[in-house]
Every structure is written in C-alpha cells, then in structure tokens.
Amino acid sequence: MTHAIECRQLTKVWPGNPPVEAVRGIDLVIEQGLCFGVLGPNGAGKTTTIEICEGLLTATSGEALVLGKSWNVQASEIREQIGISLQESRLSEKLSVLETLTLFRSFYRNGLDPKEVIARVSLQEKMHASIKSLSGGQRQRVSVATALVGNPRLLFLDEPTTGLDPQSRRELWRIITDFREGGGTVLLTTHYMDEAERLCDRVAIFDRGRILAEDSPRKLIADLGVEHVVEFSVAYTKDHHDREQPAETFGSGLPGVISARMESGHRCLSVREPHVAIPALLGLISEQQLQLTSLTTRQASLEDVFVHYAGRSLNDSGQEGVSA
Amino acid sequence: MRDSWKMHPVTQLFLARFREFIRQPEAVFWSYVFPLVMMIALGLAFRSEPLEAISIAVQEGPGAETLISLLKKEPSFVVSGGSAEECRRQLRAGQSELIVVVEPSVGQIAAGLPDYQYVFDPTRPGSVHARNMADDVLQRAAGRQDILNTSDQEVTEPGSRYIDFLVPGLIGMGLMGGGVWGVGFAIVDMRIRQLLKRFMGTPMKKPHFIIAMIFSRMVFMVPEIVIVLIVSRLLFGVKNHGSYATVALLIVLGAFEFAGIGLLIACRARTLEAVSGLMNLAMVPMWIGSGIFFSAKRFPEFVQPVVDLLPLTPLIAALRHVMQEGAGLLLILPELAIICIWGVVTFVVALKLFRWE
C-alpha cells in the first residue's frame, strides 16, 4: 500500500536578511489509515511542512509525495483526493453554510452531497444561516466540512481546535475520529499535547524546523522511563529569608528520582516511583529548613516528552502559546 | 452531479460572487446611485442655455461716455465704466470679458472718429467672443456696411447638447470604475482572507475563478448602465440615435475590458492600501485623458497616440459615435478592436502573474 505521505529531506528557506530556515531537512512517512499529529510550539515549522504537503508551498529542496503521487506531475489528481482546513482562512461571511459547501463541492469530480456533509459536522440547523452568524466552533466545523465535501482519502487539519471552547473541541474530535474510522488518513497539527495524546495514533514532535521524535504517544512517554512528574515549590522560613534559593537541580539524586529541573517557574522531578521519591523529598526539605508551599503529582505526558527532547518547556519557546 | 450546469465551478463561483454582492445593500446602492448623481449634477450645471450677457468695461477718459452709450445699444452687452486699474481688476477676476479704451485719434482713416483699443484675453473663449461682438457693433455704428448676405439657423436639438455628449462619457466612466474597483477590491479582500489560498487547495481551475469574477462584474454593470440610460432619457431627453444592440455590445465589451484591467491591477497586491494606490494610478490618466467630460481631441497632437490607446478612450468614442451620430457596427470596428485587445491581454497577463497565496 502506498504511503499517505512521504517526505524526503524536506527543507524550506524563506528568503530574507537573514534567510529564515523554517524547515531543516525533514524525513517523514505516514501510513494510510492513521491519525498523525504534528506537534510543537509556534514557529516549529509545522504549518510550513503541512503546506508543502498540501501543495500550497514549494519546498526549497527535497520532495513530498502524497498518496504516492508527486506534486510536480500529478497535482490535480492529488487535489482531488485531499481535503484541507487552513489555520487562518476566512470563508465568505455573506454566504450560507449550504452555499459555501455547494461551492466547494463544485470543484471536485467526485464528492459528497453537501447536505450529507453538513449532517456529519452536525450543522443541520445552521444549514441556511450565514457564516457571519456562526460561532467560532461552528465556523471551524464548516471549514472542516469544506475539506470533507470532496470525499478525500487524506485530510489535512492545521490547528483545528486552536482558540475553541472545550465543547467545540470535543465536537471536532468526534468529526476527526469518525473520518478516521471510515478509513481516511488524517494529518493534523496542534500545540495541544492532550489533543495529540487523545486523537493521534502517531505523533512527530517538531522544534525549530526539525523532527525531535516520532512514535505513538504511549511509546514516546514510555521511552522517557518516567511515569510520574512531581511538581513542587519551596520557600524559606522567616529566619532564613535572606538565604539563596536552592539550585534548579534541587532534589536530584534522591531515591526514585530520575531528573530535576525548573519548568515555567515550577520545580519538577521526573519520578519512577512516587511512593519512594515523595517521602525522600519531604525529608530533604525539612533537613534544609525549607517550607513546602505546593506539591502535585501527575502522569507523564507528551509535554514532558517535548521537554525531554527540546530541553525546555513548550511555553518557554519564546512565542506566545495559547493554553487549553 | 457535475454534469449539470448548476454544479459547474464557474456557475458556483459566479453565484457566490453574485450573492455576496446583492447581500451588501450599501454596495449596491452606491454602485448604482453614484453615476446617477453625477449625471444629474453635471446635466444641471451644464444645461444648454443661450450665452449669458457679455460684460464690457470701458476705461474712463475723454470720449468714454459716448462709447458707453454706443455699446449699450447692443442688448446683450452689460457695460460699465471705471479707472484703468479697476477695469484691469475686473478683467482679471472674470467679471468682465473685455476692456475698451478710447485712444487719442490718429485719424488716418476717417477724420473725427475716435480710435479704440481692445484689451482682452485671447485664451478665454468668452473674451474673444466679446471682442468680436464689440468690434462689430462699433464698426457698424461708424458706418461699416456688411457686404455678404448671411442668414443664421440655430441648432439646439437633442444629440448636440452637452448632456448628450456627457452621458456616453459617464457610461464609460461607470464601466471603468465598476470594473476596476469591483474586481480589484474583491480579489485583494479574498487574498487577505486567505480564501484564494484555500481555493488553491482544491482542484478548482484558475481560469474558472477568473472567468467567474469577470462575468459576475459584467452582470452587475448592466443594471447600472440601464438606469443611467433611462434617467438621462426621462430627465434630459437624451436619446440613443444608434442601435441598442450595438450599445449593449459596447457595454458588455467595456465591462469585460475593465474587469480584466481590475484583475491585472489586483493580481499581486497584498493590501487594500496598495491596490487603491494602483487603481488610482491606472484610472487618473483616463479620468483626465479619455474624454469623459470634454473631448479627448483637445489634447495637443503629440499626446494623441497615447490618449487614443488608453483603455477608456475608444470605449467612450465608440459610445458617442453610436449614441450621438447613430454610427453602425462597421464604423466603430477600430475602437472595438482596441477594447478587445485590452480585455484579452489583461486577462492573460493577470492569469500568469496572479498571486494566489
């Protein structure tokens, strides 16, 4: 079976002074029938990569094959078989949902009935409403519907849930899952790690134009050798308030602790066995005459995978990150 | 589904444009009302009336009183007297067209008769007219005999008035503005919204999109022109002396031509500011040079080749030939050729240069 997507040594350099290397040599193979997530902070090269695969940008070097076809020779055949939802395109406000989908349907040789697609994204009641009157989540569903109306084998979704409320996000997740269960392949970008863990069979973690790691979310987390993360903060008692803060690595070397670091102002310990590590941590804190001001534990997540590979947290990327 | 014309991409793109247009009542209002307001205002300002009274200033001095009474015999003259300085001021300010000065008689031709000097501005048609009228009156008063037998036939019938000249010009201007603004802004707006990029992610054919843009603009133009024609007829009695089919053909081709030009102007612009600047750059020479308000033939000979090739000039010239003179299709073939060349060339070039993302 041909791969849904096959990228070989893809690079993209935006001319300028200095030139910006948005994508720096990416190799990526995506099997059909998967939901594949491209993760990373803003500016990681996610959108550039996906737009090269969508045929909207040309790579500076390297090649991207889509469904085994090359953009150089079979562009219109590829376009018949893919559906796209861009990050920032705004549909005509004056048109109704049905009119918009009928317009997009007319571009495809073989597509679905626009009304059927409207039902798939649960917008039957808004069928004749203008795009202008829709909420952000409903607009996003129309955008995904314009991608579905050509009955694609491969669906590209660039940040489909950014800025949406939790209920709208869940609604979109359902649409994506339905499509994948119908045999379609999905390539989505997101900077929400929880979204990727939940939806994707495989993920690639992007940072600064490169792929840091690629595997199933579960495998990536397991490979960290870390199951739990302990987040805590400490303060000195009144008598010792002029002492220096403990080092960032405070707590490393304790039994059950793999590593210690600061993450967005919190002290984090990667821990294999919390029931061993936490008593040891508490002992160290009282020994050093410190006060524990907060303590939480959580399961390790893709967020921790990113930190592990990138050496910094997602929010420290220097770009504003929208939180879920 | 694809087989039916209704699901053809051009039909659907056209319908989308059409719906967007009619769902913006203010845009519809202005694109149809503006040309009307313009026509009515200009039609009223330049309505054809007999020449107004001619103001003549007589410079004070010996014999001035006699001169004033002589001139006053001509009913169309309004004569005033004043100092040399006052007379000059009036001439400069346009309050009088001519100064007549009585000069000390050299008396070579007829003894006893005074000599006159006319002070006037030869670049002002009214001034030249006043000089010639005054000269006639004074020469005849002094005894000049007219030798030839002449008679006047006055013609102010529809077809030769300023409004008859103006309406074809306004139709041309409307076609230019509608095409350039309508297509240009719509395209740049779609580019800003990344809708063009979104379309590029579908199998949509680029020529389909461009044909739909041009065709929709042509359809919006028709009511605008029809309204101007009807109102100009009802209000000012402007008639079309040629065939309506020929006028219709010119309007359709003109709309095509300017939609193509709008497309070319907008084919790379990324912001509304940029496209506005380019549109004005393209349209100002035509507003001035293409004969909307006055004949393009008034420009000096050496700029005529340039003026003649501007996209609007042949359109307005052809409309005037047909509407004012009743010219048939054969007589306007050269103009039609220039219009079609502009339309086709801009369409092809725009398609090549077009920036979709």
Q: What is the ipTM of this complex?
A: 0.83
The interaxial angle of helices A136-148 and A97-105, nearest 10 deg, is 20
- Tell me how far apart the alpha carbons of residues A224 and B50 are, in angstroms, rounded to a whole number: 98
pLDDT score, position B236: 84
User: For the residues B1-10, what does the mean pLDDT come to?
Assistant: 77
- Tell me how far apart the alpha carbons of residues B253 and B276 are, in angstroms, rounded to a whole number: 24
Asked if residue B184 belongs to a domain, the reply is yes
pLDDT per residue rounded down to tens, chain A (324 residues)? 789 999 999 999 999 888 888 999 999 999 999 999 999 888 889 999 999 999 999 999 999 999 999 999 999 999 999 999 998 778 999 999 999 999 999 999 999 999 999 999 999 999 999 999 999 999 999 999 999 999 999 999 999 998 888 899 999 999 999 999 999 999 999 888 888 988 999 999 999 899 999 999 989 888 887 778 888 888 877 666 667 777 878 888 888 888 888 877 788 888 888 888 889 998 888 888 888 888 888 888 888 888 888 877 766 644 433 333
What is chain B's mean pLDDT, rounded?
A: 86
Contact A92 B20 (CB under 8 A): yes
**Higher pLDDT among residues B147 and A83, named by residue:** A83
Same structural domain, B11 and B100? no
Asked if residue B254 belongs to a domain, the reply is yes
Same structural domain, B293 and B199? yes
- Tell me how far apart the alpha carbons of residues A54 and B60 are, in angstroms, rounded to a whole number: 89
Q: Contact, A99 vs B15, CB < 8 A?
A: yes
Q: What is the residue range of B174's domain?
A: 5-46+158-353
Give yes or no for residue B159 having a pLDDT over 80: no
Give the residue from B85, B111, B141 where a domain finishes: B141
- Burial of residue B322, with CB atoms counted within 10 A of its CB: 0-12 exposed, 13-18 middle, 19 or more buried: buried
CATH class of A5-221: alpha beta
Same structural domain, B226 and B262? yes
Same structural domain, B126 and B210? no
Of A240, A267, A235, A228, nearest to A251 by C-alpha is A267
pLDDT score, position B50: 56
pLDDT score, position B300: 86
Give yes or no for residue B2 having a pLDDT over 80: no
Mutate to test the interface with B, among A51, A87, A107, A155 (most CBs of B within 10 A): A107
pLDDT score, position B51: 57
CATH code for the domain in which residue B99 is found: 3.40.190.10
pLDDT score, position B158: 56
- Sequential DSSP letters for B21-42: HHT-HHHHHHHHHHHHHHHHHH
From chain B, the residues in CB contact with A92 under 8 A are: 16, 20, 195
CATH 3.30.70 for domain A225-299:
yes
Mutate to test the interface with B, among A77, A78, A89 (most CBs of B within 10 A): A89
Contact B201 A55 (CB under 8 A): yes
Of B102, B97, B50, nearest to B78 by C-alpha is B97
Same structural domain, B36 and B60? no
Asked if residue B11 belongs to a domain, the reply is yes
Give yes or no for residue B102 having a pLDDT over 90: no
Give the residue from B141, B174, B191 where a domain finishes: B141
Same structural domain, B166 and B117? no
Given CB atoms, is B206 within the 8 Å cutoff of chain A?
no
pLDDT score, position B41: 85
Same structural domain, B114 and B60? yes
Give yes or no for residue B1 having a pLDDT over 60: no
Same structural domain, B35 and B64? no
Asked if residue B130 belongs to a domain, the reply is yes
- Burial of residue A238, with CB atoms counted within 10 A of its CB: 0-12 exposed, 13-18 middle, 19 or more buried: exposed
Given CB atoms, is B115 within the 8 Å cutoff of chain A?
no
Contact A79 B201 (CB under 8 A): yes
- Tell me how far apart the alpha carbons of residues A200 and A216 are, in angstroms, rounded to a whole number: 8
Same structural domain, B61 and B81? yes
Q: Per the structure, how many domains does chain B have?
A: 2
CB-side exposure of B46: number of CA atoms within 13 Å?
Answer: 15
Same structural domain, B188 and B291? yes
Least confident of B7-21, B148-162, B230-244, B326-340: B148-162
